[in-house]
Amino acid sequence: MIRKIILNYKFNEKAYLYKTIVNFLLKNKKFFPIIKSYDTIIPVPISSKRRRERGYNQSELIAREIAKRLEIEYTKECLFKTKNIVEQSKLKKEDRQINIQGVYQLRNPEKLENKKILLVDDIYTTGSTVNECCKILGQAKPKKIGVLTIAKD
C-alpha cells in the first residue's frame, strides 16, 4: 500500500500526499527520536529537467516538512544532481550503479562539516542512489550520515 502511495505521489502529480507520508512517519514513536538526533536534513536531489517535468522533488517535500515540524535544519544547497540520466526505475539492478556514478556534486561543504546528516529519499531499491549521495556527502567530513527512505522496493 505504501509503495502504491509513493508511486502515485511521485509519478501522478499528487504532491499533496507528502503531508500524509510525513504524518505517518512522525506518529511512529520509535522513529521520532532517531530523526531528532540529526543536525540537518538533506533531500536526494533530482535534475532540473525532471523537476520541470514533475513540478516538484518528492524527496524534498518530505524532507522539508519533517525538518519544519521537528525544528531541524534543512538544506538543499549542498548536494546537487548535475546530469539528467535515465531514470533508475527503468533500469536493471546491475545497470543502476553505473548509471548514477558522477551525477551528484557537493557545494558548500563547510555547512556540513562535523554535522549529523539525514539524507531523505523516497524509494530504496538497490541502494545505488543513496550510496552515491552518501559518498559525495562524505567529502564534507560530516560526523554521521543516516538515510531515511519511505519505502523499499
pLDDT averaged per 10 residues in sequence order, the chain, 153 residues: 70 78 84 91 92 89 95 96 76 74 93 98 88 96 95 75
Helix then strand then coil, in percent of the chain rounded to 5, is 50, 20, 30
Q: How far is 31 from 53, CA to CA, in rounded Å?
A: 33
Is domain 2-152 classified as CATH 3.90.105? no
Q: How far is 20 from 22, CA to CA, in rounded Å?
A: 6
In the numeric block, which cell numbers belong to residue 75?
Answer: 538544506
CA angle 147, 72, 112 (to 5 degrees): 65
Q: In this predicted structure, what is the pLDDT of residue 122?
A: 87
Q: In this predicted structure, what is the pLDDT of residue 26?
A: 85
Q: How far is 144 from 59, CA to CA, in rounded Å?
A: 20
Q: In this predicted structure, what is the pLDDT of residue 54?
A: 83
Q: How far is 139 from 130, CA to CA, in rounded Å?
A: 15
Q: In this predicted structure, what is the pLDDT of residue 120?
A: 97
Q: In this predicted structure, what is the pLDDT of residue 1?
A: 66
Q: In this predicted structure, what is the pLDDT of residue 55?
A: 87
Domains of the chain, residue spans: 2-152
Q: How far is CA 84 from CA 1, 12, 121, 152, in A?
A: 29, 20, 17, 23
